[in-house]
Amino acid sequence: MSSIGENVDDLLNRLPEEIVSHILSLMPTKYAVRTSVLSKKWRYVWMSVTNLDFAYPGGRPFNQFTFTKLVDWDDNNFTRFVDRVLKFCKTSHVKLFRLHISRYQVPKSRLSNWINNAIKLNVCEVDICASTRLPSSLFTCKTLAKLRLNQSVRESLSSIYLPCLKSLDIVGFPNSKLIHGCPMLESLSSKVSRCDLKKDYIFNIPTLKRLELTFASTINFVNHKVVLRVPNLEFLSVVGVLSSSIVVEDVSSLVGASIACHEPTVNQRWVELLKIIRRVQHLSIQYVSFFFERPTNSILLK
């Protein structure tokens, strides 16, 4: 149907602008902007993307074992790229702002500048992996519905108010200021670290429907409890090495649960947890043997 050498059946001719911008939003911004060199018609098409997705240097997200290398953040192609995209993107409602910077430490002022730009564009979802402290403006963003960080939310923030936030994925347990500042929180994913378990912790979130707890394998067994006071919880996931026992106060609304045990043996704490959640409709159990590090037993029960 398409004739060779002509642009008659070109993507841009066939599909309306909203769809082309939707397609370009389905990939990292680097590749969307690359289309600028395809032809004259394509030069500025990328500016209508709704997702701003940056990864530097490209690839794996940051983990806590980082080392700071010397990068001149003032004279850097990546910096110029991000600045240019933020300046020229036409949308006034950014759906996703993702920034993954691994192995390098971006200066606080520059990161704040980028995040503030995204906030000005009414960003809905923010996903940041960086070793830099985040600006407090991120925690008072009125349009934010989904937030994913590879760091914890520090206690020293003066105010937290995220009226639209439904989904939160952070390191550590949320402090009370954070919980009060997120009145609509429905989904919480928490990577539990050693300092979270220094005392008993009570999850007191009435709106929460979904909770995922990932316990790092570096934590030793502690005598403290994690109490779930979440009466409307529908889905619970517990992954890793269960270093403390989990007490669930009210399981009546629980519909599904997922357990992944990464310990050499399924000890008493796991058994007690299973006793609590056994009446759910959907249960997934995974047992990853410590020595072989691959799932040896995976059951899906109804």
Partner 1 sequence: MLKNLNSKHIQRFSYKYLPQFPISPNSPKLGFSRSQIANYRSNFPTTIMSSSKTIVLRSSDGETFEVDEAVAVESQTIKHMIEDGCADTSIPLPNVTSKILSKVIEYCKKHVETPNADEKVAEEDLKSFDADFVKVDQSTLFDLILAANYLNIKSLLDLTCQTVADMIKGKTPEEIRKTFNIKNDFTPEEEEEVRRENAWAFE
**For partner 1, which is the closer residue by CB, 42 or 161?**
42
The answer to the question of residue 184 lying near partner 1 (CB under 8 A) is no
Would you state the torsion angle of the CA atoms of residues 119, 82, 188, 258, taken in this order, to the nearest 10 degrees? 150
Non-local (6+) Cβ contacts of 81 within 8 A are 30, 33, 54
Q: Closest approach of Cβ 220 to partner 1, in Å?
A: 35
| Contact criterion met (CB below 8 Å) for 203 and 229 | yes
Using CB under 8 A as the binding rule, the residues of this chain from 23 to 52 that contact partner 1 are 23-24, 26-28, 30-40, 42-43
CA dist 221 and 16 (Å) reads: 58
Using CB under 8 A as the binding rule, the residues of this chain from 257 to 296 that contact partner 1 are 282
User: Measuring CA to CA, which residue among 171, 168, 99 is closest to residue 130?
Assistant: 99
Q: Closest approach of Cβ 24 to partner 1, in Å?
A: 8
Q: Closest approach of Cβ 82 to partner 1, in Å?
A: 8
Q: Closest approach of Cβ 22 to partner 1, in Å?
A: 6
Q: Closest approach of Cβ 20 to partner 1, in Å?
A: 9
Q: Closest approach of Cβ 206 to partner 1, in Å?
A: 27
| Contact criterion met (CB below 8 Å) for 170 and 189 | yes
Residue from 1, 70, 271, 299 binding partner 1 (CB under 8 A): 1
Q: Closest approach of Cβ 111 to partner 1, in Å?
A: 17
Using CB under 8 A as the binding rule, the residues of this chain from 58 to 117 that contact partner 1 are 77-78, 80-81, 84
**For partner 1, which is the closer residue by CB, 54 or 215?**
54
**For partner 1, which is the closer residue by CB, 36 or 64?**
36
The answer to the question of residue 19 lying near partner 1 (CB under 8 A) is yes
Q: Closest approach of Cβ 256 to partner 1, in Å?
A: 8
Sheet holding 201-204, edge to edge: 201-204, 225-229, 245-248
Instruction: Number of residues interacting with partner 1: please give it, by CB under 8 A.
Output: 40
CA dist 147 and 96 (Å) reads: 10
| Contact criterion met (CB below 8 Å) for 156 and 68 | no
CA dist 231 and 236 (Å) reads: 12
**For partner 1, which is the closer residue by CB, 96 or 170?**
96
The answer to the question of residue 301 lying near partner 1 (CB under 8 A) is no
Sign of CA dihedral 149, 152, 153, 156: negative
| Contact criterion met (CB below 8 Å) for 139 and 158 | no
**For partner 1, which is the closer residue by CB, 14 or 120?**
14
**For partner 1, which is the closer residue by CB, 9 or 250?**
9
Sign of CA dihedral 62, 64, 65, 71: positive
DSSP single-letter state for residue 124: S
Would you state the torsion angle of the CA atoms of residues 75, 77, 80, 86, taken in this order, to the nearest 10 degrees? -150
Show the tokens assigned to 72: 């001149």
User: Measuring CA to CA, which residue among 263, 266, 300, 261 is closest to residue 284?
Assistant: 300
**For partner 1, which is the closer residue by CB, 22 or 225?**
22
Stretch that binds partner 1, among 13-21, 122-130, 164-172, 286-294 (CB under 8 A): 13-21
Q: Which residues form the interface with partner 1 (CB under 8 A)?
A: 1-2, 4-7, 9-11, 14-16, 19, 22-24, 26-28, 30-40, 42-43, 77-78, 80-81, 84, 282, 300, 302
